[in-house]
């Protein structure tokens, strides 16, 4: 019996991520990244921190979308979120877009630095 596995590898040469607009940046309070198109069936890693760096953790709200269907909507208070300093990896599967937002509902008034990295699948 065969077992399928994916071994995520960082894209050290940045050959994939450098082709993705908005893959890193700063989000002011209650602003979003806009739609970030990463491609179907990709493993991506997201991370964020309060900028300038502080002891405060930040929550990163996100939504997923499809460029040929319903694009990733702007995240709202009821959207899922992850803690930015812990990072988060996801296989996009049938989605090819992600949109992230710095919501004051979770973070208060902070500026958030974020990064979206595409990992290779082997």
CATH number at residue 70: 2.60.120
122: pLDDT strictly greater than 70: no
> Does 71 map to a domain?
yes
> 88-91 and 24-27: which strand pairing?
unpaired
Does 29 fall in a domain?
yes
Residue 76 maps to a domain: yes
Tell me, yes or no, whether 68 lies in a domain: yes
Tell me the per-residue pLDDT of 7-60, one tens digit each, with 9 for 90 and over.
555 555 555 555 677 788 899 999 999 999 988 888 888 989 888 776 678 889
* % of residues, the chain, pLDDT over 90: 32
> Does residue 2 lie within any of the structural domains?
no
Rg for the chain, CA atoms, rounded = 15
Helix, strand, coil in percent for the chain, rounding step 5: 10, 40, 55
**Has residue 104 been placed in a domain?**
yes
10 Å Cβ neighbour count for 6?
12
Q: What is the pTM of this model?
A: 0.79
The whole domain housing 58 covers 17-119
Domain count for the chain, please give it: 1
User: Would 7 be classed as within a structural domain?
Assistant: no
So what's the pLDDT on residue 14? 54
Q: What is the pLDDT of residue 22?
A: 75
Asked if residue 6 belongs to a domain, the reply is no
Contact status, residue 89 vs residue 59, Cβ threshold 8 Å: no
Which of residues 113 and 57 earns the better pLDDT score? 113
- In three-state secondary structure terms, 107 is helix
* Per-residue model confidence as pLDDT tens digits over 79-98: 998 888 888 888 888 999 99
Instruction: Give the model's pLDDT for residue 107.
Output: 87
């Amino acid at each position: 019996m065969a077992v399928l596995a994916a071994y995520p590898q960082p894209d050290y040469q940045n050959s994939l991520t450098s082709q993705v607009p908005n893959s890193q940046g700063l989000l002011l309070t209650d602003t979003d990244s806009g739609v970030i198109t990463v491609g179907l069936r990709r493993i991506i890693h997201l991370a964020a921190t309060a900028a300038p760096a502080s002891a405060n953790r930040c929550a990163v709200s996100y939504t997923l979308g499809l460029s040929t269907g319903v694009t990733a909507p702007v995240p709202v208070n009821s959207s899922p979120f992850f803690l930015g300093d812990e990072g988060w990896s996801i296989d996009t599967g049938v989605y090819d877009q992600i949109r992230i937002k710095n919501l004051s509902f979770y973070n208060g008034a902070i500026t958030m630095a974020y990064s979206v990295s595409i990992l290779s699948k082997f």
